Structure formats: structure tokens, C-alpha cells
Amino acid sequence: MNHVLRKPEVSTFYSLDELHEMSMAEGLSLFKEYINPQLGRMYHLLGLADRKPVKAQGLIIDMSDGSQVLDMTAGLAVLNVGHNHPRILAARKQWAEQQQLEIWKFIPSPYQAGLAHNLSKLMPAGLNKVFFCNSGAEANEGALKLAQKYVGMDRPIVVYTDISFHGKSHATLSVSGSEREGNKHFKQMSDCIEVPYGNADAFEQVVQSHKKTFGKTRVGTFIVEAIRSEGLVKPPEGYFDKIQAVCRKHDIVLILDEVFCGFGRTGKMFAFEHQNVVPDIVSFSKAFGAGKASFGGFVSQDRLFQKAYGKLKHATLHSTTYNGFGEEIVTAIESINIIRDERLVEKSEQLGAYLLAELLALKTKHAGILADVRGAGLLVNIELKNLASSIAKKFPLPIPDEVISKVTTGGVITELYEKHNILVYTPLHNHNLIMVSPSLTISKAQIDQFVQAIDDVLSTNLIEKGLTYLKRVLG
């Protein structure tokens, strides 16, 4: 006889009202117990778990202690139109109050079709078939599947670059060069080949080396970012001209990942517009849902879609549950219209140039700590010299390298947050970087506030700040 183990009766189920009243300490304890202990510890170490957000508007987060935090992250480039934009709230409220159909699955949605139409008008001619899904990883999965279906099973090779991130699913990890260390724990897709970012000759060499005698190359797909967001790496001039020529010559599907940089982040609607390139497929997410919806998708050339999924029996060969939800659709429609109506792409270009110029001036002033500053629109990477690492070499301590590598940046992030009420972050793969990706609605005064704050932090004794952070780490 099988015995089913049952959990003890739960004495308390939290209500929304109770969670509204919960302290940050209580919330952090629950987070550590039921979600991720080490991630919760990281929030605590950086000083991010002490104050509770109670309201957010534009770039400002109101905290429970009465302070206001300037958010320079846009939630990892999700909030391009800012926190709780009034037009986004109004569109969602109207939809809810009308009690509109939530899930359009068995009836064709004019709202979904209208959003797809609007997206196609932002793209180069020919990119007019849209698939909606949940996230950037799912968008890239779908793009890779479409490419594979188009080129056929005899051309399975996917080429990707050494500095890249396309998601954390099995397939997208297999083509994410920056996740190389993380990849070792998981099974990889076969037939994935890495080439250096920005090296078109290396790509062409792979294409040629896998070419059958008197036949086609086995390379069918190339997935790449027009601008690598982490580290703000731009390819050399002419790179995409040659990449596109090779892809067209050999009928290789060119996928451009715009998940991070899309919708105005780099001073263009899409980062590939900085280059002379027309992709076959464009993937997108993050800002698409305006912080109110987990939303993404891809747009493909009509000729690819028709060959891959153009038959009736293939109409649902690639599908997802969450691609027709009403509030997601109206949110994305309104988000794109806000970007256009408020000229946020132009604002990103202009204020991004101003922000970069101000930070480059600090680079000269703080040459001892600021290694480099790079930017494109309102995406800026500040590279710090690792002072803690140099000290550790002189005075060896029994501290893991992975901890030492985070001390300088961690100290700066904590100081900005605790002293200056400014929120920034460091990316996953380079702990010497501070990423600055504010909402495109930012004002010049808010940029000045941030620049003055970073100037003040870099003027302090960063070794002392780093040691304070290190003491937290060591507990």
C-alpha cells in the first residue's frame, strides 16, 4: 500500500493586505526560505533589502521610510517608458473595466493583428510575420526553430559569437558565449559553433569549412547582437556588410537579437539600425511589455515564414499558450505608441550623448578607478578598475577570487544606493562593470543628479568602501 506524505496543515496563508504590511526583514526571510537563499543574501549584502518600495512613477521609487530612489536600471532595460506610465495604466484599466476577453485563442484577435501590423511598420521591408511569446529566451528559441525549419535538416549548424547572451533555456544557452562557464552544467545542443564577435572573416571561414563538395554549406543560421549590451561592444565598421553578404550568398538565416537593445535603448528604435543590415529574423522582449507584461516575440521575413510554416498542417507547428492575452497586447500597443508620440528614441540619442560626455569627463578626473566608459543612447557601461584585486595580490587573504572580483563594484553600488538613493547594477558576466540603462523618459536634471552622485562616490576612499562591503560578505 502506498502512503502519500502530506505537509502539515498550514496555519497561515498570507493575504495581500498582510503582505502589504510585512516588513522588509520578514519579506527577506521568506524570500531566502522559499525562493533563493543566496540571491536573498546578495540583496542584503548590497544594502538593497533594507527599505521597502511603496510606489513607483517615472524613474522615481518611493520608499517606506520617505526617501526617493532614482532608478537608473529601468528594471534591466524593461521600463523604457518608465514606471507606471499613465497611458499604460489607463489602457490596462480600460480593458479590465470593459471585462474584455482575456485569452484570444479560438477567435482571431484584431488587437493582436494590429500590434503585429505596428511592429512590421517599424521593421525593414519584408519583415512582416510576427510570433508573440513570453520572454527573450522563448523568442530566440522560436527564431532558431523557424530558421531550422526553413534551411532544412541537412543544414543544422548554428553559428554564434563568443560574447553573447540569448537566454538560459537549453537551446539558447548553447548559443550564448558569455554563459560558457554556466553551460558546463547543462546538456548542450549539437552543431553549435562559436566565432569571435566582430570578426566576419572567422564567420566566413566556418561557412566555407562546412561546405560540401559541389553542395551547400551545412551552416544554416547565424544569431548575433547588433550591439553587445554587456560591455557595450560595437562591431567594426563594415562587419555586418560582410556578414549579410555571406548569409545571402549561402542562404544562411541571419537572426538579430534585440531583446535588450530594442525599442529605443541605443538611440535607434533597434540597434541593427546603426548598421547597414536587414536581418531575416529579429527577436525582442524586455521593453516590449513595458514592465506590466512578460512579453516578447520575433518578426521574420515573409519568405522564411511561408516556406517554414506556410502550409495548413504547419500552422500550429510552433505555438505557445501565452501569445494572445488581451492586457499584454494592449500594453505593448500603447508602449510602442508612447515611444513614438513622446519621441523617446530621439531623446535616447540626445540625452544619451549628454550622459556619455559627462561620464567621459569623470574618466579623466578619476583615472585611478575609472578604466573606461562606453555608451550608445541611454545604455552606458562604466568599467571600474578592480582595486580589491590589486590589494589582494599584495596582501593575500583566504578569500575566493569570485568574492574579490565583486568588492569594488559592490562597494560603489552600495554607496550609490545608501548614500545617494540611486539604483544601478552590475551585469552577470563582468563584475567590473556598472550598467546604466535608465528609462528613456529621464530628464537632464536626473542625469545631472546621477553624474554628481557617481563623481562623489569615486571621490571617496573606495578601498575603505570596498572593505566595508567585504565585511558584509564575510559576515
Torsion sign (Cα): 117, 123, 129, 130: negative
Do 118 and 232 belong to one domain? yes
List pLDDT tens digits, range 156-200.
Answer: 999 999 999 999 999 999 999 998 877 778 888 899 999 999 999
Higher pLDDT, 36 or 188: 36
64 — pLDDT class (breaks 50, 70, 90) = very high
Phi and psi for 128 in degrees, rounded to 5? -140, 15
Do 120 and 168 belong to one domain? yes
Separation CA 75–CA 377 (nearest Å): 17
- What CATH number is attached to the domain comprising 378? 3.90.1150.10
Torsion sign (Cα): 414, 416, 422, 426: negative
CB-based contact 60:66 (threshold 8 Å):
no
The pLDDT assigned to 375 comes to 97
Do 366 and 429 belong to one domain? yes
Do 165 and 289 belong to one domain? yes
Domain boundary among 341, 372, 394: 341
**Is 429 in a helix, a strand, or coil?**
coil
| Residue 435, Cβ density class (10 Å: 0-12 exposed, 13-18 middle, ≥19 buried) | buried
Q: What is the largest CA-CA distance in the chain?
A: 75
Do 335 and 356 belong to one domain? no
The pLDDT assigned to 185 comes to 84
**Is 53 in a helix, a strand, or coil?**
strand
C-alpha cell, 5:
506524505
Helix (H) or strand (E) holding 423: strand 422-423
Do 373 and 298 belong to one domain? no
- Supply the pTM of this predicted model: 0.93
| Residue 291, Cβ density class (10 Å: 0-12 exposed, 13-18 middle, ≥19 buried) | buried
- Is 315's pLDDT higher than 70? yes
Mean pLDDT along residues 366-390: 90
Q: Does residue 25 sit within a domain?
A: no
The pLDDT assigned to 180 comes to 82
- Is 394's pLDDT higher than 60? no
Mean predicted lDDT score pLDDT of the chain: 92
CB-based contact 125:187 (threshold 8 Å):
no
466 — pLDDT class (breaks 50, 70, 90) = low
Do 296 and 352 belong to one domain? no
Helices and strands, counts by H and E, the chain: 18, 14
Give the structural domain span for 43. Answer: 30-66+344-474
- How many domains are contained in the chain? 2
Q: Does residue 72 sit within a domain?
A: no
List pLDDT tens digits, range 258-310.
Answer: 999 999 999 999 999 999 899 999 999 999 999 999 999 999 999 999 999 99
Do 243 and 151 belong to one domain? yes
